[in-house]
Chain A
Amino acid sequence: MEEKLLLEKIHDLKKRLRFVWIVNGALEWCLAGTLVTLLLVLALKLLDRPPAELTAATVALLLFPIGGAVAAGMRKMPLMSVALATDRKLGLRERLTTGLEWSLSDRPRTVVAQSLLRDASQHAAEVDPKKTFKPTIPTSLRKAFIVGLATLVVLALPAWHLFQPGQSAEEARIVKQASQRLERTARELRQRYPRSQQAKATAQKLEDLAQRLKEPGTERDEAAARVASLSEQLRSQARGQGQGNQQGGQGAGTTADNPRNQAERLRALARRAQKEGASKELQQAIEKELARTDKQSEQGKALSKAQQSAGQGDNKGTQEELEKAAAQAEQQAAEEQQMGEEVAQELQETESGLSQEMAQGNNPSQGKQPGQGQGQGQKPMANPGQANQPGQGEAKEGDFGVGTTNEQQKPGEGQKKDYVLERQAKDQQQWTEEYKRLYASERIHRETADARARGQLTPGQMLPAPGQVRGAPRSDPGVGGGAEEVYLDYKREAEEAVTRQNVPAEYRDVVRDYFDGIDPREK
């Protein structure tokens, strides 16, 4: 009776334990499922696969727990192990295990064995399988949640651009590259034309556009359209036509007008001075023009002189100074037109870089090494002194850095981009000089001293210099004494050592015998 009760209870416990195993198995495999799913999604995202495939990858999240449950369900579970697990869980001191083993065996039922079975069945009757074995949330599942959450957060960061629809990492990189190019162009524009209001206004527009391109989610096509729009706008402005002309004037503020218009007005004033002389109306017109002009510029100085000459009634001087100011204004107009064209050209190249297919040449990380451009008919932009003859393959060391395209230049375009070329030539010159200084063949052959490239010291412990080797033998002359001299000292040391507590008694005589055996005095 007791045996039957015990067996039934242990079978109940087995069923319950099987259920718990299945649940725990499914939960435990969630970690692997989460990691695999995340890796799959990441890989597919980096490969720019469509969203449908990304969704399909999440099936792994379901498959793994199912696999874990199946594996747990198929695992062997002997009754003895169940009884032992119950004993350990409830602190029954192996009563169920011993009772089960005895009841399953053919051993004689002694009185003690019967008492054992009775004792075991009594304890088993008090066992509730559901309270004994409960599904638990394994530590691995908590880890899975933490890992999954952390990865999702990292992937969701704007810098990754991974969860932005329709934009791959490569596209984001191209747009970012275009933005950097615009910023650099604006910077160089300010450096090249420090006093030009037109240059400042254009640089500001370029910087504004660069900032807009930097915004997360800006697609390549959209960026290209914006760059094209600005390019067209600047080109129109440079030609002094339509809306661009007016905008240029507004952007320049109140102290400057369109230089070409101003030149025409100044020519008209010069003609009036020749015809009418330095009348009061003329003086007022000159003063008005002077207010629109930078007084420190050559044009402003000429206008000031014209005003003075008009005040003194010097008609000829007034006319000459007005002509001079008109010439200055025309020169400024020409310069600004040239600048506009250059910037427009730069923008056009930026736009074409955005519009193109992702060609290998656009990727600096995959770029060619310096010197590969030679003889390929596709001359890099940065070859100082060769800018007027593009595409002839004369460049020996190309610049494949940011702002460079693999487009073939048209003849004459290099002239408009001299400020870009200057910058690239300067950088390249530094690299070349450094390289030659270190690795020139004549130097390597002639000099044998070590040279080191410029670098940065990293923090850390200084390594020992040669000659400070640890463990080197001492050159103390006292070491080399005779055996007779040192023997007694050593023996005394050994005697003291063996009397210490930490030398076992049975080994003390061994030590003494050893020193007696090597006593040089006996020889």
Chain B
Amino acid sequence: MPDREQASPASRVDRFAEQLEALRQEIGKRLVGQKELVEQVLIAIVAGGHVLLEGVPGLGKTMLVKTLSQCLDLPFARIQFTPDLMPADITGTNLVDEDERGKRVFRFAQGPIFASLVLADEINRATPKTQSALLEAMQEKSVTVAGIVHQLPEPFFVLATQNPIDMEGTYPLPEAQVDRFMFKLHVRFPEARELADILDLTTGTRQAELQAVCDGPTLSEMNKLAREVVAAEPVRDYAARLILATHPELPDAHAQVKRFVRFGASPRGGQTLLLAGKVRALMQGRFNLAFEDVQAVAPSALRHRLILSFEGEAEGIKTDQIIADLIESLPVAAAALPGV
């Protein structure tokens, strides 16, 4: 894409915004409402992160991911996680085969993970062993089978779904796995008008035709542009302080954090705040990261990275509530000028 890189920054930013708007439009043809959810998913995709979608059945989680795959023109694979699913079913395995000379050799048969966009449906229904098969893929974007490392295609995204109720026969994701998701997004129940539109759209004969408006290289270009967005020291400092404020063992921790949180967010959480915030800044036509960008992505980036204590869980405390209180109480500038 030489012409893209030589274009002026302003035009690149304009094209960035146009691409995202086009994606929003296409997704909107199939998915009614859920604008915030779509925007957060797009931020994660542009930032190159994985997304964990959580919501009760029937809210369109799988529909969103399938729609996204069609709009992005990327190789798509869906893995339905079940208790008997094995790691090899995801990563692929070595099969005995014969070569041209009739000699038996091992040939690696790629699993469904070798796609750019992987839908891990109901991920918490698989056993921890199978869930762990995703660890290397999500972080290193590679798969190791029989000592041989197989690189996954670029870009590579995992969009997983899970059901927060009906916990019988499920295996909660381990913290290491959860931490690899850039965002954890709650899929809310649609409003009355949105529900009426959904009913109208899904019970008739009309089926919206989707077009691929973005491809892999474009996504990579957008990711590169987002990483060039500048973050000033006070904003970086704010993101760091926000992460540290989630740690109950630190002396300056918020009272609620000390009481209800067992473990705070990891450094990945801080990386997510900056990277996702930069994408958001670009989406708004800015070349710099602002405090409000960090605050806007903080709930999605941190809600799954805070591990509640026994007391927090027993009292039904939500991590969103703790994050909101932290944002409210933490001053954006560590040493603000007085009298301004």
Which residues in A have some Cβ–Cβ distance to B below 8 Å?
Answer: 17, 20-21, 24-25, 28, 72, 77, 80-82, 84-85, 88-89, 93-95, 97-99, 101-102, 110-116, 119-120, 133, 136, 138, 501-505, 507
Contact = CB atoms under 8 A, between A and B. Distances in A.
Given A17-B337, A81-B337, A505-B167, A94 B291 contact: yes
Contacts of A85: 336-337, 340
Contacts of B337: 17, 77, 81-82, 84-85
A4 to B, nearest CB: 19
B310 A507 contact: yes
Given A110-B228, A115-B9, A502-B315, A98 B336 contact: no
Given A112-B225, A504-B310, A94 B232 contact: yes
A88 B340 contact: yes
A102 B230 contact: yes
Contacts of A72: 339
B222 to A, nearest CB: 13
Contacts of A28: 339
Given A88-B336, A112-B228, A120-B288, 12 more contacts: A17-B337, A72-B339, A84-B333, A89-B340, A93-B292, A94-B232, A97-B234, A102-B232, A113-B287, A115-B287, A116-B288, A502-B316
A119 B286 contact: yes
Q: Is the interface of A mostly helix, strand, loop or mixed?
A: helix
A504 B230 contact: no
A116 B340 contact: no
Interface of B: 8-10, 13, 167, 225, 228-235, 286-292, 310, 313-316, 332-333, 335-340
Nearest to B233: A101
A98 B235 CA distance: 9
A114 B9 contact: yes
29 contacts: A21-B339, A24-B339, A28-B339, A80-B234, A81-B337, A82-B337, A84-B336, A85-B336, A85-B337, A88-B333, A88-B336, A88-B340, A94-B232, A94-B288, A94-B291, A97-B235, A98-B230, A98-B288, A98-B289, A99-B288, A102-B230, A111-B8, A111-B9, A112-B225, A113-B228, A113-B230, A115-B287, A136-B339, A502-B314
A305 to B, nearest CB: 99
Contacts of B291: 93-94
Contacts of A81: 333, 335-337
Contacts of B233: 80, 101
A81 B340 CA distance: 11
B335 A94 contact: no
A504 B333 contact: no
A295 to B, nearest CB: 89
